[in-house]
Amino acid sequence: MGYGYNAESRLIEVRNENGSVVRMTYNPLGRRVKKTEHGRDGYPPGETRFMWDGLRLLQEHKHSQTSLYVYADEGYEPLARVDGVGPLQKIRYYHNDLNGLPEQLTETDGHNVWRATYRVWGNALEEVREAYFIEEQNLRFQGQYLDRETGLHYNTFRFYDPDVGRFTTPDPIGLMGGVNLYVYAPNPFGYVDPIGLNCGSSKGFSRKSTIAKRWIDKLTGKKSADLDGYLSTRGWTKSYPQAGRPDAIQHVQFSRTTKSGSMYKLDYHPGGNKSQKNIHGNDYWKIYKVNKSGEDVVFGRIGHGGFKNYDLIKDSPVYVDGALMNGSL
């Protein structure tokens, strides 16, 4: 595969091994407005045009098909798309993972028309779609658009290669960008880079951190017995989830349902036992929120002292002695 760039280091041409060529056109603000695929004979079998709302992709036109995108608040996480025009127009809704990566697309009646599973860095392992869903679902990490002709993700000011989890060109800021000018993010679960220039914590990670931070002062370095009285007088119910498993590490869990109906759990992990080692080195607390499906979702961990292997945790914040160890908010 060969790449061609313009004077501003914009990717303008990709030559595939099968002889096809993909060409891109940009507007003066650096946003891609057209993508054209040419076959081996030079004839253009496909053209896609893009419209923008600031730096967010607003609409695309391809093969007489039109798709309009709707995002959350002022961010880049997709909420819905409007496919088609007139009486044939359909609204479809996105169901995303913690970091805003689309996993399902459903009709207004809840019917699933598209779903996907991914590798860690955003490369799709599998896509399943209904036969009547003739449009393509190309949104990936926030701000990214999959070019199926090349396998690359258009990331506004750079292209991203999901096979290696890196950008294809260096950060244009040069040495001020650090020693790794091709890096996408420290991890793809807690961070996003919607425009290809500035990595930051994702809203999902930040929301979890907001909840976890409330408990730093109360839980850091404390054992469950230290908080029995405090929590019980505030409506928390104590339980022992592993009580029926004598060989398991015996956690102590406190649960409470808020006035809005949300259930939270504070789970005290006392450390390892003779049959099970504790990979984190000492005791700690884990904060859960129960989702609509009844599943416990980890919202954070609060440890102290020699809490180890925090770098293995990607999906939620880890606070050790009050310091955030696996992210930067």
Query: Tens of pLDDT along 93-102?
Result: 999 998 899 9
- Residue 104: pLDDT over 80: yes
User: Given this model, what pLDDT does residue 329 score?
Assistant: 39
Q: Would the pTM count as exceeding 0.85?
A: no
Nearest to 170 by CA among 156, 155, 180: 180
Q: Which amino acid is at 255?
A: S
- Residue 241: pLDDT over 70: yes
Specify the higher pLDDT residue, 204 or 94.
94
Specify the higher pLDDT residue, 307 or 106.
106
What percent of the chain has a predicted confidence (pLDDT) above 70? 97
Note the helical H segments in the chain. Answer: 203-213, 216-219, 224-232
Rounded Cα gap, residues 195 and 32, in angstroms = 12
Average pLDDT over residues 256-272: 92
DSSP 8-state assignment for residue 197: S
User: Given this model, what pLDDT does residue 328 score?
Assistant: 45
Burial of 192 (0-12, 13-18, 19+ CB in 10 A): buried
Angstrom CA distances, 130 to 3, 63, 145, 240, stand at 34, 19, 21, 45
User: Given this model, what pLDDT does residue 216 score?
Assistant: 95
Rounded Cα gap, residues 256 and 204, in angstroms = 22
Specify the higher pLDDT residue, 310 or 224.
224
Rounded Cα gap, residues 297 and 287, in angstroms = 8
Rounded Cα gap, residues 86 and 273, in angstroms = 65
305: three-class secondary structure by DSSP: coil
Rounded Cα gap, residues 230 and 280, in angstroms = 26
DSSP 8-state assignment for residue 311: G
In which band, very low, low, confident or very high, does the pLDDT at 277 lie, cut at 50, 70 and 90?
confident
Q: What is the mean pLDDT of the chain?
A: 90
Buried b (16+ CB within 10 A) or exposed e, 127-144: eebeeebebbbbbbbbbb
User: Given this model, what pLDDT does residue 274 score?
Assistant: 67
Specify the higher pLDDT residue, 311 or 22.
22
Rounded Cα gap, residues 90 and 192, in angstroms = 29
- Residue 293: pLDDT over 50: yes
Average pLDDT over residues 49-63: 95
Average pLDDT over residues 253-258: 96
Q: Are 267 and 286 in contact (CB under 8 A)?
A: yes
